[in-house]
Amino acid sequence: MTGIQNLILLPRASTKIKMNRILLFVFLSFVFLFTACKSETVWEDEDKDIEKLEIKWKSYNFQDFQFVDLAPETQGSKIYHGIIKNPSLFIRQNAIRVLETLYYSPLDSIPERENIHYSLSNFSGITEKTGESKTIAIRLSTQWIEKTFSPNDSTASFIEMKGLLLHQLTYAYLFNPVGCGTYLDNKDYRAYVEGLGDAVRILNGGFHDSKPKEGGSYYSGYRTTGYFYCWLVKNKDSDFIKKLNKTAVNINPWSTEKAFRQIFGPNEKFTVENLWNEYQKDLNFF
């Protein structure tokens, strides 16, 4: 600020030079204010988005969200805390978004969780969830935070952290398919879990600069299956995600084809294969 003041207040400068310097000062002030406002846009949008959901889910018996930083000495930790000012609130608000996407209301049957432990840890992966009981642990890699951080775009880093958390919280709250094996040995199971994780992430603004891509299969999981699920939400049934989640506990043995038949009925037009082919012709939907 002192440097700019000196530009304006230098003695013996001509009136024209003084005016130019005043205009420069005004321009720089505008740029500063614009940048500051832009950096707050994500947080303002987040706050507006969450208010109504907080009211709707007020009666839900929320877990004890525990945050711990196991790698405070790392650059990734410093980046995280520079962007996420209140980790416990951040976890709670994204838990609400996940619940809102998977369920109709707090009155639904929802897997019981008592504790969700979320930690920053110095490891070479990205993020992971452990635990299938009432206590769930999620950890985020500080190495990944460092690797994906862009000093010129903190919004992208915020969205990445939010998206990874949404995906892991989806694991914590969804119903796991029954009677069809496990994540490791059944492609239906795996595609359902990973597809739902990224569908919830997509629907809640958890990807930065991402679009559907041609190819793959509804068995591919992650974004490939996730965007397919989002297309179904937009074009076939706005409650598709909620209904798909519910099929995991009322179909035994569970399969993708049986789930789609229960949701859309027996019409051949709505088999998972035919819907996938229709989706592949409409990739610009998002």
- Cα distances from 171 to residues 87, 99, 233, in angstroms, run 19, 11, 20
Q: Which parts of the chain register pLDDT below 50?
A: 1-13, 24-44
Alpha helices in the chain (DSSP H): 2-9, 15-56, 75-83, 87-102, 142-148, 154-173, 187-203, 222-235, 240-250, 256-264, 272-280
Strand partners, 49: none
Is there a contact between 176 and 248 (Cβ–Cβ < 8 Å)?
yes
The Cα 55–Cα 42 span in angstroms is: 21
Q: Supply the pLDDT for residue 14.
A: 53
> pLDDT at position 46, please?
62
CA-based angle 78:84:90, to the nearest 5? 145
